[in-house]
């Protein structure tokens, strides 16, 4: 994983300061990170990020990196202890990022019913037998239009949303990242019809849309999803949005959240969200974003 500080318009993208929340980050409880939770908490205090949700991976496909990677009770205690230590300075939430696969929907539901989290993200990843996996993607893309190339990813994302199991859906169109050699990010704006069913499902079920800022530190230089998608979500009646850095490295924490919040505000939202069941008045966007 590479983290760069390039920005598209020459304005340096950086870690946000004085911000209500970063809802998405990985620690050493994830197979693909070795960041200690303490390092995120210390940065949050320093930067003025009031709340952080720890969202390590849980995968359901045997053999996947996040398959039974951590012990639920051990992790819950580590996060709970940190939450106590940082109380009054940074609120630390016990979250999870589930790799959604429709073939494991029943197991995922059962897991979430028996393992209480404060906050859950459902995300579609390129698991090893996915058409987007490194070994398959070139053959998969050959001869396809961009709409055809996103179809399997979007179908799984829509199923994740329709399952109603998650507080939010993570990085709605992360397939943009894997498809970049064939379809530059700007091309995605030519397929609004592919996005409509996903946005409609979010509106219908009340699942939040995550504006994932990790794309700002990747060569795409745009969020997952891009600003126009967030604007369309609001137009369709979307009410709940979250912003998350998806940090796997210390320097990625809160990175690009200022830009993500600008997108959210420009779309017409005045606040962020976390738990599905709560309207959090304390997650109002700071004054500088108000329109």
What letter does residue 215 receive in the DSSP assignment? G
Give whichever of 246 and 259 is closer to Zn ion, judged by the CB atom. 246
Determine the residue with CB nearest Zn ion. 123
Contact 101, 61 (CB under 8 A): yes
Nearer to Zn ion, 15 or 33 (CB): 33
Encode 121-162 in three state secondary structure: EEECCCCCCCCCCCCCHHHHHCCCCHHHHHHHHHHHHHHHHH
User: Closest approach of Cβ 192 to Zn ion, in Å?
Assistant: 23
Phi, psi at 6, each rounded to 5°: -70, 155
Instruction: Output the smallest distance, CB 142 to Zn ion, in A.
Output: 26
Instruction: State how far the Cα of 56 lies from the Cα of 93, in Å rounded to an integer.
Output: 12
Closer to Zn ion at the Cβ: 15 or 213? 213
Taking every pair of Cα atoms in the chain, the longest distance, rounded to a whole number of angstroms, is: 56
Contact footprint for Zn ion (CB under 5 A): 97, 123, 170, 246
215 or 238: whose CB is closer to Zn ion? 215
Q: Closest separation between CB of residue 18 and Zn ion, Å?
A: 24
HSE (side-chain half, CA atoms, 13 Å) at 192: 8
Q: How far apart are CA 89 and CA 103, in angstroms?
A: 41
Compare residues 43 and 213 and give the one whose CB is closer to Zn ion: 213
At a CB cut-off of 8 Å and minimum separation 6, what does 144 contact? none
Q: How far is the CB of 33 from Zn ion (least distance, A)?
A: 9
Report, in Å, the least distance between residue 171 CB and Zn ion: 6
């Amino acid at each position: 994983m590479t983290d760069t500080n390039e920005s598209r318009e020459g304005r340096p993208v950086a870690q946000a300061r004085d911000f209500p929340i970063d809802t998405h980050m990985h620690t050493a409880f994830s197979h693909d990170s070795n960041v200690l939770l303490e390092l995120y908490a210390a940065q949050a205090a320093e930067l003025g990020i009031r709340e952080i949700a720890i969202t390590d991976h849980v995968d359901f496909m045997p053999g996947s990196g996040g398959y039974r990677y951590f012990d639920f009770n051990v992790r819950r205690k580590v996060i709970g202890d940190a939450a106590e230590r940082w109380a009054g300075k940074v609120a630390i939430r016990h979250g999870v990022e589930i790799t959604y696969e429709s073939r494991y929907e029943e197991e995922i539901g059962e897991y979430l019913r028996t393992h209480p989290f404060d906050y859950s993200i459902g995300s579609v990843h390129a698991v090893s037998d996915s058409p987007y996996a490194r070994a398959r993607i070139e053959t998969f893309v050959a001869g396809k239009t961009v709409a055809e190339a996103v179809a399997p990813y979007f179908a799984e994302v829509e199923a994740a949303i329709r399952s109603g199991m998650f507080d939010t859906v993570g990085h709605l169109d992360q397939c943009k990242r894997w498809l970049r050699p064939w379809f530059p990010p700007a091309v995605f704006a030519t397929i609004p019809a592919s996005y409509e069913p996903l946005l409609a499902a979010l509106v219908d079920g009340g699942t939040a849309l995550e504006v994932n800022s990790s794309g700002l530190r990747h060569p795409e230089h745009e969020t997952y999803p891009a600003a126009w998608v967030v604007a369309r979500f609001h137009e369709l009646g979307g009410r709940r949005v979250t912003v998350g850095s998806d940090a796997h490295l210390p320097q990625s924490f809160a990175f690009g959240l200022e830009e993500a919040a600008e997108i959210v505000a420009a779309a017409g939202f005045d606040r962020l969200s976390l738990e599905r069941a709560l309207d959090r008045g304390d997650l109002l966007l700071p004054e500088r974003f108000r329109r």
